[in-house]
Chain A
């Protein structure tokens, strides 16, 4: 069914579903909706406008994500535009429960909730190993393979792993 035959509510739902299914280019197990960076998709004068927030200001994946969201909306039959929304700033608290579980299953320890607290921002909360669940872990570096990750190691199973750090 083409978009023009749908009611406004149906079209809105279709646009959201198309954009929400776009995977993160760096961590493809989670979608932009899981991460909470897809803020809204609204239909304005027949154009599907997606609002996307960057995780980090300089995240190189931002452009790739915006292009992928736009392409997904076009594939779903919409004229599409993506707007970058800086404010209010994205926080790891917006990662959904499902998103956290997907990260863990993929081997990335999800961020603590209430990322805005000083304790979480400074890594004082416990980071459990995503492989064996042990809480005997140590931080190797605040910076990892992408801006959003820190490097950790499990002292029980000895596996190194990434931690999606709080911001």
Chain B
């Protein structure tokens, strides 16, 4: 039972760490100063949530593992994030659409998690709910600006939808571990959040002149540790310092 809870918390934590790290990759590369600050700021929020969740998972596991052990000393196959968050940054259209897809899912998720039976999850939910409102607004503004922009930006935004939409289905799937955590009242169910997610996104798509894809080929496997090639490269860069200096502390 507690194994399942730990795994379920790690799934959620991995989603946040991986996407947070992806956003940090924009630091110093964004097209303008405002975005150079905005993307890592959102990344910090996500990494902050991951830290809380890793620490809580370590407490429940009771084997002395903490946030750094989970983040830096697990291989790709042990990571349990969904595939959407590990997708490479691509261009601005892909980065912003990936963010919007995830944030629009997490908003109703955190809202439901306000009723968690776990005090740490509950406290985090209240905090993250306010932060994610900014993420939704920021990414939605960009999706609209690019989708309803020039011929070039509109084509790239439409391409981003083709590239990413198939990865969103996995957000609504609960692994066996997540189902156990849901039954215990620790984490909210995922499938029921689809209505809220679509209701948040469809008006944005309409304003951005983007077609909502009716036919998609859903991709999943992240919760079983089956990832795309991109995650291994990301983890190699993220973990190299910690692995080169085992046991080093700040």
Contacts and interface: CB of A to CB of B under 8 A. Distances in A.
Interface stretch (B2-10, B45-53, B93-101): B45-53
Interface string B63-83: 000000000000000000000
Interface string B27-55: 00000001001100111111111011000
A88 B126 contact: yes
Interface stretch (A34-42, A51-59, A128-136): A51-59
Contacts of A137: none
B128 A57 contact: yes
Contacts of A96: none
Interface stretch (B116-124, B188-196, B207-215, B234-242): B116-124
Contact of B37 (A54, A60, A88, A141): A141
A31 interface: no
Interface residues of A, number: 22
Interface stretch (A7-15, A20-28, A142-150): A142-150
Contact of A143 (B42, B48, B120, B133): B42
- State which size class the interface on B falls in: 20 to 34
A147 B34 contact: no
Contact of B123 (A89, A121, A151, A167): A89
Contacts of B42: 143
Nearest to A115: B130
Interface of B: 20, 34, 37-38, 41-49, 51-52, 119-120, 122-124, 126-128, 130-131, 133-134, 137-138
30 contacts: A54-B48, A56-B44, A56-B127, A57-B45, A57-B49, A57-B51, A57-B131, A58-B48, A58-B51, A86-B52, A86-B126, A87-B119, A87-B123, A88-B126, A89-B127, A89-B130, A122-B133, A141-B34, A141-B38, A142-B134, A142-B138, A143-B34, A143-B38, A143-B134, A144-B37, A147-B41, A151-B34, A151-B37, A167-B130, A167-B131
